[in-house]
Each structure stands twice: as structure tokens, then as C-alpha cells.
């Protein structure tokens, strides 16, 4: 049974049954083997602290970090690697951007479908005197650029929005919004948690000033990694935390050069080494992986739409959808449905996905939704088995 053995090697077997992992929107799994190898190498052979000390191992650790930084910059089409700072996840990157550039009295425009990673810090900042305008997205998660741009005004400091909702999946057309923001002198923060690695992102062409993304989702890196890109329009950014940077140690003030300004304390070398390996892997296979994930997403939409009782959230056209499909089954509680699917070996997520606003928009705040999110290693057979499992649960809970 060669396929069984291949999957077993990927660690996808649970007991006697097969687990089909469809929770890549939370974190991608499995990771490419090269990620594990690079992490092991960082722990077992390099070991040293990057940017601290001048011995050979410290220099090699520094080169590993720089290589990953440069790879992220290349992926984003962002000229300078120094403009990429490492964080521990997308949430930390978003917080570093928001608290870094916003001051009381500043005006921010956002949408009403944001993940709590952006929404909660924005609400906290609003309590501290930042003025917030929240633009309504469409029910399917589409953001109308004209409506959004009308909320931008002279004196707006920042527009902050997701590239794709993690519940509705609709891709947001960032460029016209960014252009309007720049005409008004505002900066643009994009939460690319559900897109980076899976959708092309060009920070210059899309006119993005601040981009926050996890290393552990579409980039296929390990958990504990994230990035914040800080573009040249951002002339000043206050650090979220301050401390040792391995540079300008004689000064009491935090260095104002990037990335040191945003990277205090010892970096996550094993994680960054793993992320660097993942980026090289993506570079070699990216187009193929992306189209495979898109095919699986389309198959899921297609199959789910044929199951009685299923309501799919998000846009109808697959071309406007990131690699996730959330759905409800009649009035059934989504966590019960996800648990029933788990008993059949389908790992997926029910509930509110840390994005209650998107569920209010979709009218699913009471039930939540079940989210199936394929990754580059999801096979067509995985999708068919998952659809059969959903159909079986549907017959029970929404006959």
C-alpha cells in the first residue's frame, strides 16, 4: 500500500485510522521534510545566537537569519531584506505595526470582517484615543473599494485590513484602496495571514506599507514564526518591546535602524532556519503547489454545494477565494459537526475562528461554521473522503 506508507511517513495516521488534515488555515501541516531538517541542523549543529558574538557559529546563525530575511523580501518583491522583521506569529506582527505607527487622535479605516488579531488591538487603541471608521464588507466578505475609499479622508493615518477573511475567504483588492490611502497621506497595513505563500503578493505593486503574515501557514514554516514588512513610506515606527539587539549596545535608546528596532532579544533561530528552508522549497515548487491547493479548494466548493443542507460562506467564484471553505449544516452547531467529522478522521475547525465579526456578517454567529482548508499536500482522494464524511454527517444532523 504505497500511498498508506507515504502518508504514514508524513505522520498523518492516527491509530488504525487515517487522519485527513483540512485545517491549513490555522496552521499548515504537514511541513516539507526540509523544514524539519533545517530546524534540526540549527539546534544540533549551529546552536549559537544570531547577531550576538563574532565566533564562527554565531556568524553562521546570523547568515541563516539573513538568508531567510532575504527570501521573505524576495517573495514580497520588497527590495530591502532589512525591512523584514521576524515576529512569533501574524498577531505579533499586526500589533507591532498598529502600536508602532498609531497615536491618540489618529484616524484609522478598517472593515467589519477582521480577525481578532487586528480587531482587538484596534479596539484597544480606540479606547486610548485612536478614531476608528469601520467600513461594512459585503455578506460574502468582498470589500467594495469605492465604499472603503469614501471613508478615507485628509488626516487618515492608516488603513488596516485583511487580504482575505479567514472565515469568508474572499480576496480583497488591496491596490485601489492603497492608492486612495496614499493620496490622503495614509499608510496601508495588510493582514496577509490567509494569503502569503498561496496568493501572489507584491508589496510595491500593491502599494502595501506594512504587511503582517505568519510563517506557519501558507509559507509552510514552523509555528513560532511570523514576519512584519515595513515599507519606505513608514518613516517612524515605535518598537513594541525594547531591549538588547546586539547592535549599538553603548546607547540607552533602541536603535532606529531596521530590523533591529523591531527585534529585541534572541531570535528564534530554529524556527527561522525552518522558515528559510520552507521558502526555498516554495521557490522551487511554488506555482505547482499553489495550483494544487486551488484545485482542492475548487473541488471542496463544488462537492459541498451538492450536499443537501450545506450553506457555503464566501464568494461564489473560486478565483476570488483563498484556500478555505466555511459552511453550515442547517442549524447544527458547527463544533458538533467538526467533532463528528473528527470522529471520521477529518481534522477541521468549527466555531468562530477568532473572527466573530465575519460570522455576524454571514449570519452564523449562533452556530459558527465548519471550515475546511486544504494545503499543498491535500490529495484529491482526501477531498473526496472529506466530502463523503460531510454528506454522512449531513444526513444525520440536517436530513
Ligand X SMILES: Cc1ncc(COP(=O)(O)O)c(C=O)c1O
The set of catalytic residues is 354
DSSP result, 53-76: -SSHHHHHHHHHHHHHHHHHHHHH
Smallest separation, CB 25 to ligand X (Å) = 6
**Binder to ligand X among 64, 89, 95, 110 (CB under 6 A)?**
89
Whichever of 62 and 163 has its CB closer to ligand X, that residue is 163
**Binder to ligand X among 97, 117, 188, 190 (CB under 6 A)?**
117
Stretch that binds ligand X, among 84-92, 175-183, 274-282, 326-334 (CB under 6 A): 84-92
Would you give the DSSP letter of residue 236? -
Please give the residues from 215 up to 244 whose contact with ligand X meets the rule CB under 6 A. Answer: 226
DSSP-based three-state secondary structure for 214: strand
Whichever of 89 and 357 has its CB closer to ligand X, that residue is 89
Stretch that binds ligand X, among 42-50, 188-196, 294-302, 389-397 (CB under 6 A): 188-196
The yes or no reply on residue 162 touching ligand X (CB under 6 A) is yes
The yes or no reply on residue 292 touching ligand X (CB under 6 A) is no
Smallest separation, CB 2 to ligand X (Å) = 34
d(CA 188, CA 177): 9
**Binder to ligand X among 122, 125, 137, 191 (CB under 6 A)?**
191
The yes or no reply on residue 278 touching ligand X (CB under 6 A) is no
Sign of the CA dihedral running 359, 361, 362, 365: positive
The yes or no reply on residue 194 touching ligand X (CB under 6 A) is yes
Q: How far is CA 192 from the centre of its chain?
A: 5
d(CA 334, CA 327): 9
Q: What's 118-152 look like in SS3? A: HHHHHHHHHHCCCEEEEECCCCCCCCCHHHHHHCC
Smallest separation, CB 384 to ligand X (Å) = 26
Distances (CA, A) of 274 to 28, 52, 271: 13, 20, 5
Instruction: State the Cα torsion 69-70-72-73 to the nearest 10°.
Output: 120
> Grid coordinates 442547517 are at which residue?
330
Please give the residues from 96 up to 115 whose contact with ligand X meets the rule CB under 6 A. Answer: 115
Binding site for ligand X (CB under 6 A): 26, 89-91, 115, 117, 162, 166, 191, 193-194, 214, 226
Amino acid at each position: 500500500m504505497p500511498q498508506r506508507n507515504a502518508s504514514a511517513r508524513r505522520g498523518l495516521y492516527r491509530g488504525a485510522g487515517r487522519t485527513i488534515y483540512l485545517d491549513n488555515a490555522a496552521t499548515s501541516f504537514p511541513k516539507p521534510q526540509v523544514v524539519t531538517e533545517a530546524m534540526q541542523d540549527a539546534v544540533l549543529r549551529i546552536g549559537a545566537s544570531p547577531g550576538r558574538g563574532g565566533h564562527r557559529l554565531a556568524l553562521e546563525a546570523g547568515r541563516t537569519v539573513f538568508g531567510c530575511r532575504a527570501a521573505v523580501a524576495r517573495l514580497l518583491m520588497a527590495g530591502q531584506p532589512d525591512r523584514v522583521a521576524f515576529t512569533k506569529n501574524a498577531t505579533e506582527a499586526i500589533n507591532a505595526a498598529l502600536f508602532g505607527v498609531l497615536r491618540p487622535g489618529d484616524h484609522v479605516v478598517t472593515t467589519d470582517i477582521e480577525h481578532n488579531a487586528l480587531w482587538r488591538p484596534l479596539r484597544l487603541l480606540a479606547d486610548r484615543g485612536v478614531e476608528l471608521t469601520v467600513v461594512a464588507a459585503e455578506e460574502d466578505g468582498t470589500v467594495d473599494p469605492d465604499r472603503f475609499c469614501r471613508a478615507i479622508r485628509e488626516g487618515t493615518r492608516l488603513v488596516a485590513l485583511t487580504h482575505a477573511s479567514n472565515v469568508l475567504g474572499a480576496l480583497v483588492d488591496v491596490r485601489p484602496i492603497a492608492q486612495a490611502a496614499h493620496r490622503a497621506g495614509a499608510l496601508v497595513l495588510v493582514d496577509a495571514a490567509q494569503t502569503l505563500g498561496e496568493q501572489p503578493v507584491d508589496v510595491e505593486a500593491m502599494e502595501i506599507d506594512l504587511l503582517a503574515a505568519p510563517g506557519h501557514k501558507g509559507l509552510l514554516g514552523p509555528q513560532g514564526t511570523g514576519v512584519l514588512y515595513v515599507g519606505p513610506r513608514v518613516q517612524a515606527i515605535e518598537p513594541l518591546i525594547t531591549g538588547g539587539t546586539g547592535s549599538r549596545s553603548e546607547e540607552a535608546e533602541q536603535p532606529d535602524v531596521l530590523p533591529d528596532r523591531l527585534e529585541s532579544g534572541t531570535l528564534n533561530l530554529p524556527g527561522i532556519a525552518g522558515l528559510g528552508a520552507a521558502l526555498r522549497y516554495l521557490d522551487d515548487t511554488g506555482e505547482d503547489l499553489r495550483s494544487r491547493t486551488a484545485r482542492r479548494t475548487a473541488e471542496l466548493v463544488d462537492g459541498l454545494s451538492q450536499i443537501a443542507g450545506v450553506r457555503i460562506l464566501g464568494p461564489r467564484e473560486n478565483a476570488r477565494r483563498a484556500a478555505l471553505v466555511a459552511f453550515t449544516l442547517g442549524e447544527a452547531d458547527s463544533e458538533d459537526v467538526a467533532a463528528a467529522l473528527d470522529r471520521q478522521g477529518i481534522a477541521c475547525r468549527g466555531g468562530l475562528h477568532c473572527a466573530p465579526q465575519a460570522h455576524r456578517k454571514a449570519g452564523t454567529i449562533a452556530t459558527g461554521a465548519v471550515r475546511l482548508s486544504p494545503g499543498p499536500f491535500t490529495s484529491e482522494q482526501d477531498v473526496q473522503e472529506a466530502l463523503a464524511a460531510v454528506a454522512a454527517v449531513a444526513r444525520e444532523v440536517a436530513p
